[in-house]
């Protein structure tokens, strides 16, 4: 099908984030676009209204007229939808959302961002960078990006950046020249029966990348490492690198203490009875070595940095805010070799590196760090090590495309995020309310870790609505273990999708399972119940993080409104 010959396009399920973005692009290309959906409120309502794209909030046979050149339908709707059946009966041209999106790849240099986590943020980052670099990209993003004015870009440049969803194997419709693969943790268990089936759709996808194209892949994921073996193009790997993570061992982060000195934070080591002595988890050949010997060895092994005993001073041990482990802290007065590329960690006092440098006493050491920071460090506005990994993937693409990487880094540091990805909804009477789309246990764990790193001493409320019965059942135990960085957890009733309205598990079951691990969860089934409770319970300094892909976003917005009324 040649989209250039199509003039009037009707969308069934137009409020979906991808559908809205595609409608915008086609609208900007001069086509007549309108559609229908349910009357419930979505973030896309404002976007469609701004674009003056007509939305009929009712499915009806009367909406399907013979003057429609093409019907594009969300994969949520098929024979169970009256408009779908009517269009089919009238023999109108019909394409599913992924089929229609796939047609856009014909005339552009396609870049697809896929994977179980990080797709939206990575797509938004790359689109923002390309736009700021003057490339005028087209883009389809799974959430609204304030800096881009919505969930899409409709540029005249050669690049098309697409958030490519693997569900129902939508990937089979896309033919990009470049792919970013962020992760491959099993998801959508209602469609993919096991990890092998899940991996296969990605293997088939990357195999189709042309030999002159390239694949950027997160090689710290074991499933990704298996998938990329199917690629026949050049593969560029990125990994956790020097960014710290709760599970990392060894060198952790640069922290600014109150007295203004910089230290290295060593994490995830059990201490022996002797001060200044450590033993790595699991013992091993390095068990019992001195703290300095371990620091020296790991700086060399992990970062190729050499230090002498005169360069480091042991400052003592402090308890981690995110685990029960003790942290060995050192002041290092001199670095020989490259600087340290790490993210902020959880220490006694926590500042981002950029904030710390602004207040640092100017010494020979800090000058070296500042010089390194200006050239190679990424000081992102959005929290979490996972977002550093997303940024590194973007930089790999930028470099491979022959664009200005140094400028791209500066642009990434200005990126402020997307809707529903650690989005600050408001700060009212000292209570900060955030909203995040995380709905897989890995995502829940990561966003809470990012919150704990950002707010190491504040009380964190996690308000979670499980998304779909099949996902909750399949990953039940993983969900139960993913809330350890929250001080208090409230679980709402499970959000059923259009495809499933009931299941074998209940929200109350998840509450019991969480309390076997962290003893901090309770049940409040309805949105109003949660808002009413929180208005009375939260205190100045608390952090409320609303998590999930269902309708619990209404909790955060409702809470902000009600807190403003509270005396």
pLDDT computed for residue 313 by the predictor: 57
Q: Look at residues 436, 412, 414 and name the one whose alpha carbon lies nearest to residue 424.
A: 436
Q: Are residues 222 and 275 in the same domain?
A: no
Residues 24 and 121 in one domain: no
* pLDDT recorded at residue 277: 28
Query: What per-residue confidence (pLDDT) applies to 454?
Result: 85
418 found inside a domain: no
Burial code of 142-177, b = ≥16 C-beta within 10 A, e = fewer?
A: bbbbeebebbbbbbebebbbbbbbbeebbbebbebb
For 323, which DSSP code? Answer: S
Last residue of a domain, one of 50, 76, 100: 100
**Are residues 284 and 327 part of one domain?**
yes
Look up residue 218 and give its DSSP letter.
Answer: E
**What is the dihedral angle through the alpha carbons of 114, 117, 118, 120, rounded to the nearest 10 degrees?**
70
CB 64, CB 86: distance < 8 Å: yes
Number of domains in the chain: 4
On whether residue 293 sits in a domain, the answer given is yes
Q: Are residues 433 and 560 in the same domain?
A: yes
Shared domain check, 386 and 369: no
CATH code of the domain covering residue 169: 3.40.1190.10
Kindly state whether residues 96 and 114 are assigned to the same domain: no
Predicted confidence at residue 209, as pLDDT, reads 97
pLDDT in tens, 192-222: 999 999 999 999 999 999 999 999 999 889 9
- Residues in Cβ contact with 60 at an 8 Å cutoff, skipping those fewer than 6 apart: 36, 82, 83
**What CA–CA distance (Å, rounded) separates 394 from 129?**
8
Strand order in the sheet with 460-464: 423-428, 431-436, 543-547, 460-464, 488-491, 521-523
In a domain, 311, yes or no: yes
The sign of the dihedral angle between the CA atoms of 185, 191, 193, 197 is negative
Q: What is the CATH number of the domain that holds 438?
A: 3.90.190.20
DSSP codes, 436-452: E---SHHHHHHHHHHHH
Taking only the tens place, the pLDDT of each residue in 66-118 is: 999 999 999 989 888 999 999 999 999 999 999 999 999 998 999 999 999 99
Same domain? For 406 and 431 the reply is no
Q: Is 553 contained in some domain?
A: yes
Question: Does 70 lie in the same domain as 19?
Answer: yes
Domain membership flag for residue 417: no
Q: Got the DSSP string for 31-85?
A: -EEEEE--SS--THHHHHHHTT-EEESS--GGG--TT-SEEEE-TT-STTSHHHH
Residue 113 makes CB contacts below 8 A (sequence gap 6+) with 119, 122, 123, 126, 161, 162, 163, 164, 179, 180, 182
Last residue of a domain, one of 100, 132, 157: 100
Q: Identify the CATH number of the domain in which residue 74 sits.
A: 3.40.50.720
State whether 214 and 259 are in the same domain: no
Same domain for 367 and 394?
A: no
Residues of the chain scoring pLDDT < 70: 240-378, 498, 567
Residue 27 lies in a domain: yes
Q: How far apart are CA 308 and CA 53, in angstroms?
A: 66
444: in domain: yes
Instruction: Tokens 């929200």: give the residue.
Output: 507
Structural domain of residue 482, as residue ranges?
Answer: 423-565
Q: Are residues 112 and 151 in the same domain?
A: yes
Q: Are residues 469 and 505 in the same domain?
A: yes
Looking at residue 290, the DSSP 8-state letter turns out to be B
pLDDT of residue 267: 37
**Structural domain contains residue 212:** yes
């Amino acid at each position: 099908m040649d989209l250039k010959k199509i003039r009037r396009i009707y969308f069934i399920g137009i409020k979906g984030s991808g559908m809205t973005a595609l409608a915008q692009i086609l609208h900007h290309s001069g086509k007549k676009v309108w559609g229908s959906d349910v009357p419930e409120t979505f973030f896309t309502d404002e976007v469609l209204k701004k674009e003056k794209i007509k939305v009929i909030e009712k499915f009806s046979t009367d909406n399907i007229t013979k003057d429609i050149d093409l019907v594009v339908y969300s994969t949520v709707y098929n024979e169970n939808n009256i408009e779908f059946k009517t269009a089919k009966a009238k023999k109108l041209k019909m394409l599913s959302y992924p089929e229609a999106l796939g047609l856009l790849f014909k005339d552009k240099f396609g870049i697809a961002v896929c994977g179980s986590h990080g797709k939206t943020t990575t797509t938004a980052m790359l689109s923002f960078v390309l736009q700021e670099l003057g490339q005028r990209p087209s883009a389809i993003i799974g959430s609204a990006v304030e800096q881009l004015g919505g969930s899409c870009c409709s540029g005249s440049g050669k690049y098309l950046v697409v958030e490519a969803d693997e569900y129902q194997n939508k990937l089979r419709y896309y033919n990009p020249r470049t792919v970013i693969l962020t992760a491959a943790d099993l998801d959508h268990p209602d469609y993919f029966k096991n990890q092998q089936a899940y991996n296969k759709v990605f293997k088939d996808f990357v195999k189709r990348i042309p030999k002159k194209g390239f694949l950027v892949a997160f090689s710290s994921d074991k499933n990704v490492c298996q998938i990329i073996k199917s690629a026949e193009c050049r593969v560029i790997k990125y990994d956790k690198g020097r960014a710290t993570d709760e599970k990392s061992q060894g060198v952790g982060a640069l922290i600014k203490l109150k007295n203004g000195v910089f230290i290295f934070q060593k994490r995830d080591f059990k201490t022996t009875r002797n001060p200044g002595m450590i033993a790595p988890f699991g013992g091993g050949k390095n068990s019992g070595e001195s703290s300095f010997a371990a620091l020296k060895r790991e700086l060399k092994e992990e970062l190729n940095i050499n230090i002498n005993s005169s360069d480091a001073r042991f400052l003592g041990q402090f308890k981690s805010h995110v685990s029960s482990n003790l942290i060995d802290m050192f002041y290092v007065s001199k670095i020989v070799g490259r600087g340290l590329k790490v993210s902020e960690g959880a220490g006694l006092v926590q500042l981002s590196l950029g904030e710390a440098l602004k207040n640092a006493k100017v010494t020979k050491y800090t000058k070296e760090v500042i010089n390194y920071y200006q050239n190679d460090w990424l000081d992102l506005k959005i929290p979490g090590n996972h977002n550093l990994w997303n940024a590194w993937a973007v930089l790999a693409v930028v470099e491979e495309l022959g664009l200005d990487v140094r400028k791209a880094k500066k642009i990434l540091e200005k990126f402020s995020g997307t809707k529903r990805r650690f989005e600050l909804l408001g700060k009212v009477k000292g209570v900060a309310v955030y909203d995040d789309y995380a709905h897989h246990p890995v995502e829940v764990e990561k966003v809470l870790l990012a919150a704990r790193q950002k707010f190491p001493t504040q009380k964190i409320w996690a308000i979670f609505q499980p998304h779909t019965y099949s996902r909750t059942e399949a990953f039940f135990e993983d969900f139960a273990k993913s809330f350890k960085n929250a001080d208090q957890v409230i679980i709402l009733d499970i959000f059923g999708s259009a495809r499933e309205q009931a299941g074998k598990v209940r929200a109350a079951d998840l509450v019991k399972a969480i309390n076997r691990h962290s003893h901090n969860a309770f049940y409040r089934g309805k949105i109003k119940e949660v808002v009413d409770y929180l208005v009375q319970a939260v205190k100045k300094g608390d952090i409320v993080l609303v998590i999930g892909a269902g309708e619990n976003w209404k909790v955060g917005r409702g809470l902000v409104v009600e807190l403003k009324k509270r005396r």
